[in-house]
Amino acid sequence: MKIEPQSSTELIELGKRIDGINVVMMTTQNAEGALVSRPMSPIEMDGNGAIWFFSDLRSARIEHLRMVNVAFSDEGNATYVSIAGRGEIHVERAHIDKLWTPFARPWFPEGPESSNIALLKFVPESAEYWDAPNSKMVRMFALAASVLASTPIGMGDHDTLTDLSTHTQKPVLA
């Protein structure tokens, strides 16, 4: 996923946490109100923090984008990010062409000219992350120490980012 320079310190932090994670789980509500998830591949995090995906106009999910959660997981680095927000569907051909990647061809064999292709713009509102430092071995020792002490020891960072919406972003001073 391409990450453009971000417009706030919280979005910069979010971009660093999700960089290099190529498959996410996107959760929405279906027509009955049940939570449903599916794997998706993010294409770009634009300069306003929105995360873009390709989507199929025939998909039922495009009707249920008022509340969306996108979960990023990098088990190898022990980084986990959960982002809450909303989705929007965009069908501008120039934007589809700009973001097109051959990796989308299995779902859109006709390429960016497919009549069913759309962009799903995910607009983050808040995020929570968990990030464990060091190597797997150090994390295993920290886990063992935590079990023995009955309290978390050296388990890494956890924080909530709440100022992610584009209408509340503060410019970053250089």
> 62 near 133, Cβ under 8 Å?
no
What are the Cα distances from residue 43, in Å, to 40, 51, 103, 133, 150? 10, 7, 10, 27, 41
What pLDDT sits at residue 117?
96
Q: What is the pLDDT of residue 167?
A: 45
- Euclidean distance between CA atoms 17 and 15, whole angstroms: 5
The predicted structure's pLDDT at residue 150: 60
**For the chain, what percent of residues have pLDDT higher than 70?**
77
- Please give the pLDDT value at position 174: 35
pLDDT > 60? residue 145: no
Least trusted range by pLDDT, from 8-17, 82-91, 118-127, 140-149:
140-149
DSSP letter assigned to residue 169 = P
- pLDDT band with cut points at 50, 70 and 90 for residue 135: very low
pTM over 0.85: no
Q: Of 89-98, 106-115, 156-165, which range is least confident? A: 156-165
pLDDT in tens, 60-69: 878 889 999 9
Which tokens hold the place of 2? 């391409």
Q: What integer pLDDT is reported at residue 164 of this predicted model?
A: 77
CA 11 centroid distance within chain: 12
pLDDT recorded at residue 172: 41
Is a pLDDT exceeding 90 seen at residue 41?
yes
Average of per-residue pLDDT values in the chain: 84
Cα 106 to Cα 101, 123, 134: the distances in Å are 11, 26, 37
